[in-house]
Amino acid sequence: MNSVLRYVHVLAACAVFAVASGTGFSSPDQVRALGFSPERLQRLDNVIQSTVDQHQLSGAVMYIARDGQTVELKAYGLQDVENKQPMATDTIFRIASMSKAVTTVAALILYEEGRFMLNDPVSKYIPSFAHSVVAIPPPLGSAPNVKYTTVPVEHPITIHDLMRHTSGLTYGDGLAAEDYKKANLSGWYFANHDETIGAAVDRLATLPLNAQPGEKWLYGYSTDVLGRLVEVVSGLPLDRFIAERITGPLKMVDTSFFLPPGKESRLANVYGLEKGQLVLEENTEKSDYVHGPRKCFSGGAGLLSTIGDYGRLLQMLLNDGELDGVRILSPKTVQLMHENHTGERYARDTHAFGLGFWVNDDPGYYGELVSKGAYGWGSAYYPQYLVDPQEKIVAIFMTQLTPTGGLDLNQRFKVLTYQALIKPHADK
C-alpha cells in the first residue's frame, strides 16, 4: 500500500476512535482531566519502547480509554521488521482467543431472543454430542498401549458449560491426546482447515472429554463449539452472523475471520522469542489468514482485528451493551457476563471466569493491581485487554509474539496502566 493510501487508513482508524471516544489523541491536560498522570504514563511508554529497543518485541499498539475518551493511543516499533514497516494504530492483528468474547456476545444475542436457555444441553442443537464420554485412566493391569478407558457423562454438556469452559473439552491434551492428534484436533488453530467448523465440531464430539461436564475449569474448544451452536440456532454461518449482528452495527470495519483483499500490507507479522532472539514466524506470504482455505470459522480463536475495532467492542460492554445509539445486549446480560461463574469449585489459576473472559472478584486473593469486578482476556499471539467497570477504563495491548520466550510484558502493562491512574472515578 502506498503512503497516501496508508495515510487514508490511519485517518479512518482515528475516525473510528473518535466515534468511540470523542478524540483521537489526548493532550497532557486532557490526560489529567481523565484522572491519569502523564508523567506516570511515561513509565508505560518507556517499558514498551525499551522492550522494542531490546529486540524482544517487534512492535505494539497501546490503547487506554476512560469514560469513552482516549487517554493514550500509541504505536511502537515495526509491524514488519524485514521491510522496516512501522507499526500503526490501524495495523491488523490475529487476536486468537480474544475472539471468545465476540462469539460469546453472538451467542448471548440469541439467548436474549429466547432461542435457548443457558442450561440447555448442547446436544439439543448439535446432536453429535448426544453420546459424549469421558476419558479416565485405564484399570491396573491394562496393556501398556492402553492410554485410557471411558465412562459415560454424568450430566450432558450445557451451553453454560461452553461459555464458562466447564464442558470437559481441552485443546486436545490429556489422556486421549493421541486420538485428538489423529483427528486433526490438537491445538487451537483452525485457519488452515479445509473444512467447515461444523464438520470439525462433529468430529470433536466423537472424542472423549477430559473431565465430567461441570466438574472443573478446562480451557479449550468450548467456544468453537459455541460458535457452531450460533450457526445452528441462527441458520447463518458464524462469519455472517457476527458481521450482521456485531461488527457491522458497531462499525468494527477491520474485524473478520480471514483478511479481505487489499488489506495485506496492514497485517502484522508474527515474531517469536527463541533463545533470546526475535525470529520471524509468519508473514503475509505464509499466512493462512490470507492464503488458506478460508472455510473454518473458529469462534474460539479465529478472528483478525485492530485495536480500534476491539476497543469499540469493549466500550460497548463497558457501556452495558450499547455504543453510539446501537444496543447489542441488555445491561443485565452484560452484568451476567462478568459475574464469577466458576466460583471456588475450580482451579485458583482461572482468576474466576465469567462468560468469555476472566473476572477478578477478589484482587487481594489473586494479588493483582486491578479493581474488583474488572474483566478481560488475552491471546496466544500475546495481546491482552481489560475492562474496568468501577473505574470506567478500557485498556488494550496489541502485538504478535509467539513463542514468548518467557516475556511477561502483556501482564505488566496492566500494572503500568493502573499505577498511572491517580484519581478515582467520580461515580464511586
Mind listing the pLDDT tens digit for each residue in 127-183?
A: 999 999 999 999 998 998 899 999 999 999 999 999 999 999 999 999 999 999 999
Question: In Å, how far are 195, 300, 324 from 296, measured between CA atoms?
Answer: 6, 11, 32
In this prediction, residues 248-267 reach a mean pLDDT of 97
Helix-strand-coil percent breakdown of the chain, rounded to 5?
35, 20, 45
pLDDT, one tens digit per residue, over 285-341 is 999 999 999 999 999 999 999 999 999 999 999 999 999 999 999 999 999 999 999
Residues with Cβ within 8 Å of residue 415, at least 6 apart in sequence: 369
> What is the per-residue pLDDT for 366?
84
Model confidence at 26, pLDDT cuts 50, 70, 90, reads confident
> What is the per-residue pLDDT for 348?
52
Residues with Cβ within 8 Å of residue 74, at least 6 apart in sequence: 45, 61, 62, 89
pLDDT, one tens digit per residue, over 74-115 is 999 999 999 999 999 999 999 999 999 999 999 999 999 999
In this prediction, residues 249-267 reach a mean pLDDT of 97
> What is the per-residue pLDDT for 352?
87
> What is the per-residue pLDDT for 23?
36
> What is the per-residue pLDDT for 5?
38
> What is the per-residue pLDDT for 349?
53
Alpha carbon 337 to its chain centroid, in Å, reads 14
pLDDT, one tens digit per residue, over 200-243 is 999 999 999 999 999 999 999 999 999 999 999 999 999 999 99
Greatest Cα-to-Cα distance within the chain, rounded to the nearest angstrom: 73
Q: What is the residue-averaged pLDDT of the chain?
A: 92
Question: Cα angle vertex 197, ends 381, 271, to 5°?
Answer: 15
Question: Cα angle vertex 96, ends 95, 97, to 5°?
Answer: 110
Question: In Å, how far are 55, 271, 311, 405, 407 from 274, measured between CA atoms?
Answer: 12, 9, 31, 6, 11
Model confidence at 17, pLDDT cuts 50, 70, 90, reads very low
**In this model, does residue 11 exceed pLDDT 50?**
no
Report d(CA 340, CA 426) in Å as an integer.
Answer: 26
How many other CB atoms sit within 10 Å of the CB of residue 204? 22
pLDDT, one tens digit per residue, over 389-413 is 999 999 999 999 999 999 999 999 9
Report d(CA 308, CA 10) in Å as an integer.
Answer: 11
Instruction: Tell me the Cα Rg of the chain.
Output: 21
Residues with Cβ within 8 Å of residue 423, at least 6 apart in sequence: 35, 36
**Closest by Cα among 157, 181, 159 to 169:** 157
Residues with Cβ within 8 Å of residue 286, at least 6 apart in sequence: none
Query: Cβ(21)–Cβ(30) under 8 Å?
Result: no
**Host H or E run for residue 146:** none
pTM recorded for the entire structure:
0.92
pLDDT, one tens digit per residue, over 363-393 is 998 888 999 999 999 999 999 999 999 999 9
Report d(CA 158, CA 167) in Å as an integer.
Answer: 7
